[in-house]
Structure 1
Amino acid sequence: MQNRASSVEKGRLITRRVFMLSAAKLILLGGITSRLYSLQISDREKYELLSDKNRIREWKTPPQRGFITDHFNNVLADNDRVFQVHLDLDQIQDFNNTIFKLKNILELSNNELKKIYREKERLKPWDILVVSDNLNWAQFSKLNLYLHELEGVKPVVSSSRFYPYKDDLVHVIGYVGAASQKDIERDDIIKENLVPGLKVGKSGIEFAKEHQLIGRYGIKRYEVNSSGKRISQIDHIKETQGEKIKLTVDLEVQRLAQELLKGKAGSISAMDIYTGEIIAMASSPTYDPNKFTHGIGHKDWEEIRDDPLKPLVNKSIAGLYSPGSTFKPLVALAALEFGTIDPERPILCKGHKHPYELYGVKYHCWKKNGHGYMKLRNAIKQSCDIYFYEMARLLGVDRLAIIAKRYGLGSNILKDLYFDEKKGVVPNTFWKKNAIGKSWYLGETVINGIGQGYIQTTPLQLCLMTAQIANGGYKIKPHIIQDESITYENVKLKIANQFINSPLNFSEEDDQKYLVDREYRLYERLYKDPRNINFVKDAMFGSTNEQYGTSYKSRYDDIKYQYAGKTGTSQVKRITEEERKLDLDQSQIEYKNRDHALFVAFAPYKNPRYAISVLVEHGGSGSSAAAPLASKLIKKIIDRHKLRDQIKNGSSSLA
């Protein structure tokens, strides 16, 4: 019985074990089946993607920047092919070994190695490190020969910014450089297009028009083997080139302007007095923007940064200067418009022995022996300081400030493009109280009348002032980016309509309205009486084309090139009585203490179309240092006028 019971128990145990083993097999099989289903069916796309990621590599290619051209479609900012070497950090097991091999292959300097290690510290482990973005062909070829020994190294053929005219346009166009963290954080477009070695605008048009110029990145997909070596290209989405930006600048005029300033510190600006197109905006000294594209060297950067003539400053828009006697036509216009002086009233200028005196303070004329009796036209023509001291005293600084602002001084002209543009200062009694906390003195009005004292302007503002005098007193908007809708014919029509819709009316009520400081609409009339504008223009003609005029030596006898202008000499240091007695020539004065030389003009006189301003820092006299430069440039501008008009819709001729 015992044996039978034992056998039954044993059979049950075996059955139970078989059942458990079978259940375990079923569960295991179910798990495997479930996992296979998950891998093959549910997560197929996920693992397909992971498989492709191992098999397929994707590289972003940098976007192609748009071209920048001049008025005649000459390419001023181009794209050039460059050879680069990138490191894919997440594919490198031994970074030091890879860099050691690259050092020998590319002959990298110790400074370059330090820069690579600094950059690596800044990057994330899966980022791309650009070892060099400007290899020569010999280096690039050698790199490709040894590529099988270099893990994570990618030779890249890319494009980079190139400026064919180098330093002639750097202050207009600006330059590009590697996208910094600050660039990425401030601009979503840059962040979206971020690829290794991306270059973005750092100044000028390159910076202001980044969104139009940058374009869009491309994508290249390659099939690779287990070692990461490319087998074949699978797909290529080509990068998109940015928009073309066309400037109003005339390359030939701009290059001549820069040539005229060579060896000097200063500015030359020229614009169309109706359309506001800026023909040239030269600043000197200058520098080569190509040096910044691939990262400027320490030595080159120190040379530019430490230059006492400040090549980094765009003097046309960011240089602030007292306008000197170039301000006198505007002072005369203000006095005529407000009726504070009779242009036929004579004022005596006796020279240094009998200066203009106010409350015991003496104010001298630049001419040692004086000008004698001067009426207004002659005072402008010969730039008599004594006359303008008295006229400014009668006019008052507040009324003068109204006219100065109206004609473009103390305002941003191209602020939407150039973040470094300075507004300058057009002082009045309210300004001084707010800015300095002191009352205005009559003596300050007197020196303000000859463009000295607190007043500070940029050369481009002086060019705009001259343009709006030359066009008969109408507000224009200067621009440096081409706008095909603004033509000479359209502007003349709008000015004519303004005149018809707002006829001259010299009622007392209109006079009172004219005294108010306000904003003027585009092409609105800025004057009260056209005779006053014409008087000033005629006096400026005399200053250049009649004997005793301060720029008489720079005149043209050919009516085609005749222009009207006004010289200016801006003191940078007050002259003491002892220095006045010495009567030193400018060449005998230390450079930093010499006067700035200025000149403004419009041309041709008979049918004006262009205004120009010239400034030579510490150049001495405006008549000897600035006017001759303007004379040469004016001839070039007039000679190229018909060519400019052929590009625009419609044309106009110069008599």
Structure 2
Amino acid sequence: MIKSNSGIRKTDVINRRMFIVGAAKILVFVGIVARLFSLQINENKKYLTLSDKNRIREWKLPPTRGNIVDYFGNVIAGNLKVYQLHIIPEQVENFNYLLVRLKKLLNLSDKKIANINKLKSELKPWDSIIVSENLSWSQFVKINNYLYDLVGVKPVMTISRNYPFNDVYTHVLGYVSQPNEQEILDNQTIQERFVPGMKIGKLGLEKRLENHLIGTNAIQRYEVNAYGKRINQLEHQKGEQGSKIRLTVDTEIQKACGELLNEKAGSISVMDIYTGDIIAMYSSPSYNPNLFLFGISQDEWQLIRNNPLKPLINKTLSGLYSPGSTIKPIVALSALENKVINTKFKVKCTGKMELYGQTFHCWKEKGHGWVSLKNAMKQSCDTYFYEVARLLGVDRLNITAEKFGLGKKVLGDYFDNEKKGLFPNTKWKKNNLGKGWVLGETLITGIGQGYIQSTPLQLCMMTAQIANGGYAIKPKIIVDSNPVSYEDAKQSMESGLLFDTDSEVLIDKKLFKDKKNIKIIQEAMFASTNERFGTSYKSRIDDPKYQFVGKTGTAQVKRISKRERELDLELEQIPYKDRDHALYVAYGPYINPRYALSIIVEHGGSGSKAAAPIAKKLFKLIIDRHDLRNKQSNFERITV
């Protein structure tokens, strides 16, 4: 009986265990089915996407940069088709044979062949090796003709930057080239759109406007195998070209500036005296930015770098020069504004001025005799301005000079290389040199020498603000989306107000205390150019349509010794680096002024001989282009 009950209990235990195991199996099976249902039905899209990501690859192509155009819409920085040569190593049957053929067809150097072999060892077999980024048309045709014998070679047509006017706009536009690691890290937009082969702005407006010009990437989608090799192209998504930027510059005038400064070191700036538009901004000598697009050769780079005329320096913005006598209109204006002198004030010039045992010479050895403000300006008498500066003082002169733009950047943040220059005062010397100001320094500041340093563009702005009647302008080189017309700009100035596009308010921009003083300076500058004995009289234009007024300047680059003064050498007898800089500032037409300019010819000798004649040739073109510019402006206002 006991044995029977024991057998029953064992059977119950076995049955319970089998039930538990069976139930567990059922639960596991249900769990697996539920998971499979979840994976295949509920999360189908998620895993389909992950699968596609393993199967599909995206390749970004270099973005197409936006065009930069001049005021009239002429493309000055654009894009063109270029022909490249790629090799796909895995398709090549005999790599050494292929290189021998390419070397012969394209005249490749041994160094280039070595670089190709190096790239081959670094890349995957199916990746492309770029043999040449810029094949000529004849080379491209030759390669295509021999493709049957060049297995693995792929001729490619793509887009690259192009500067159609070569060296005319170099110091305005800059150039593009491949970015370095730091440039990629510093710009979020470049980081997001960077692909090998992409080029970015390295200098000038190309660099400053990078985020506007860069464009978006075109995208190609390919199906790939397990090793990442492309099997089939699935889609091509076209990228958007970067924004078009329109400048205020006139190409014809810019080109003329380059021709007039040919084989000279210097700068020419032209500005609208009411709107502040930069009409031309040329630095000489220049260089061709197209050389940098595909990697400049060492020989070409050394020629540019070692050129004694320094083509790499943007002299218009970065060149710092003593303004010489071109500063005299500001000195006279400051003295009039501060009631230190009037039009009847006269000084006797004997050719020099003695002060505490030091001699300050006038450029005219025997002197000018008794001169008033008008005659002193006309003949650029140094002695007169020594005395005016002595009576005025450098601190009051500094205030007037800074009002008219000296010692400040003109184009703000548009150019990284723009310098603000220096117009000194007593506080500046104490803070920077640790010494007190002396009276003799005031005298030489009064004729634009000494510590004073200015850029050619500052002198152009100074002259423009004298020309427009003494009102502040805001120079610009990019056309506004809603440009202010010439008539509106002039009217707002004459009311003493100027619309500031940054703050979007009208602000008082009168730079004078008494408008009569501006008129006195304008008449004195007229005499300097258009009356006998004026320093630029030989460069005058009698025709009222083209008649302009200006002021010459000759800036010493070294102190003239007593012996050198006695020798009185001709320009050709003086070593080039010891010759004075030649300067000229002007505006015109005189009756209804519209444009101002500044010219500097490094080591040109004198402003009257080297710089003023350039202004005479240039003003005719500037005035003749005036009507075309007005028509363009009026047309845009009507269409808008």
Structure 1 segment 102-181 matched on structure 2, within 5 A:
102=99, 104-105=101-102, 107=106, 108-113=108-113, 130-137=130-137, 138-139=139-140, 142=143, 145=147, 149-150=151-152, 156-181=156-181
| Bigger mean CA deviation after superposition, 43-52 or 621-630 | 43-52
| Bigger mean CA deviation after superposition, 258-267 or 219-228 | 219-228
Query: Any gaps of 5 or more consecutive residues in structure 1?
Result: 1-24, 502-519
- Which residue of 2 is the match for residue 482 of structure 1? 479
- Which residue of 2 is the match for residue 201 of structure 1? 201
* 3-state SS in 1 of match to 2:316: helix
CA contact (8 A) 1:68 1:245 kept: yes
- 1:572 maps to amino acid: V
Which of 523, 540, 563 aligns to 1:555? It is 540
CA contact (8 A) 2:272 2:278 kept: yes
CA contact (8 A) 1:316 1:459 kept: yes
- Post-superposition CA distance 1:587-627 (Å, at most 9, x none): 11000000000000000001100000000000001001000
- Post-superposition CA distance 1:10-45 (Å, at most 9, x none): xxxxxxxxxxxxxxx99x999999999899779876
CA contact (8 A) 2:548 2:586 kept: yes
- Post-superposition CA distance 1:438-477 (Å, at most 9, x none): 1111111110100000000000000000000000000000
- Which residue of 2 is the match for residue 511 of structure 1? none
- Post-superposition CA distance 1:555-595 (Å, at most 9, x none): 01101111110000000011000000000011110000000
| Bigger mean CA deviation after superposition, 216-225 or 481-490 | 216-225
Change (3 A) 1:347 1:95: farther
CA distance in 2, matches of 1:214, 1:464: 32
- Post-superposition CA distance 1:258-310 (Å, at most 9, x none): 11000100000000000000000011000001011111111111111111111
CA distance in 2, matches of 1:591, 1:189: 47
CA distance in 2, matches of 1:463, 1:645: 21
Shift of 1:182: 1.9
Structure 1 segment 392-471 matched on structure 2, within 5 A:
392-471=389-468
Structure 1 segment 587-626 matched on structure 2, within 5 A:
587-626=572-611
| Bigger mean CA deviation after superposition, 323-332 or 120-129 | 120-129
Change (3 A) 1:624 1:182: same
- Which residue of 2 is the match for residue 363 of structure 1? 360
* 3-state SS in 2 of match to 1:316: coil
CA contact (8 A) 1:140 1:155 kept: no
CA distance in 2, matches of 1:276, 1:146: 61
CA contact (8 A) 2:492 2:498 kept: no
- Which residue of 1 is the match for residue 19 of structure 2? none
CA distance in 2, matches of 1:52, 1:270: 59
Structure 1 segment 264-275 matched on structure 2, within 5 A:
264-275=264-275
Q: Identity of paired residues, percent?
A: 56
Change (3 A) 1:455 1:228: same
CA contact (8 A) 1:476 1:523 kept: no
CA contact (8 A) 2:222 2:234 kept: yes
- Which residue of 2 is the match for residue 253 of structure 1? 253
- Post-superposition CA distance 1:185-225 (Å, at most 9, x none): 11111111112211111111111111111110011234578
Change (3 A) 1:204 1:114: farther
CA distance in 2, matches of 1:581, 1:149: 79
Per the normalisation by structure 2, the TM-score is: 0.86
- 1:565 maps to amino acid: G
CA distance in 2, matches of 1:96, 1:314: 52
| Bigger mean CA deviation after superposition, 342-351 or 169-178 | 342-351
CA distance in 2, matches of 1:185, 1:100: 41
Change (3 A) 1:380 1:289: same
* 3-state SS in 1 of match to 2:367: coil
CA distance in 2, matches of 1:205, 1:68: 9
CA contact (8 A) 2:284 2:315 kept: yes
CA distance in 2, matches of 1:403, 1:118: 64
CA contact (8 A) 1:410 1:424 kept: yes
State how many pairs are aligned.
603
Change (3 A) 1:96 1:112: farther
| Bigger mean CA deviation after superposition, 642-651 or 193-202 | 642-651
Which of 532, 535, 557 aligns to 1:572? It is 557
Change (3 A) 1:103 1:381: farther
Per the normalisation by structure 1, the TM-score is: 0.84
* 3-state SS in 2 of match to 1:318: coil
CA contact (8 A) 1:475 1:522 kept: no
- 2:530 maps to amino acid: N
Q: Are 2:340 and 1:340 aligned? A: yes
Shift of 1:157: 2.8
CA distance in 1, matches of 2:380, 2:191: 56
Q: Are 2:220 and 1:220 aligned? A: yes
- 2:109 maps to amino acid: S
| Bigger mean CA deviation after superposition, 162-171 or 100-109 | 100-109
Shift of 1:78: 1.1
CA contact (8 A) 2:225 2:231 kept: yes
- 1:109 maps to amino acid: S
CA contact (8 A) 2:168 2:258 kept: yes
Shift of 1:390: 0.8
CA distance in 2, matches of 1:196, 1:86: 14
* 3-state SS in 2 of match to 1:64: coil
CA distance in 2, matches of 1:210, 1:522: 32
- Which residue of 2 is the match for residue 5 of structure 1? none
CA distance in 1, matches of 2:202, 2:573: 41
Change (3 A) 1:226 1:464: same
| Bigger mean CA deviation after superposition, 116-125 or 597-606 | 116-125
- Which residue of 2 is the match for residue 292 of structure 1? 292
Shift of 1:60: 1.9
* 3-state SS in 2 of match to 1:626: helix
- Which residue of 2 is the match for residue 303 of structure 1? 303
Change (3 A) 1:157 1:45: farther
Q: Please provide the CA RMSD for this pair.
A: 3.6
- 1:277 maps to amino acid: D
* 3-state SS in 1 of match to 2:317: helix
* 3-state SS in 2 of match to 1:640: helix
Change (3 A) 1:56 1:147: farther
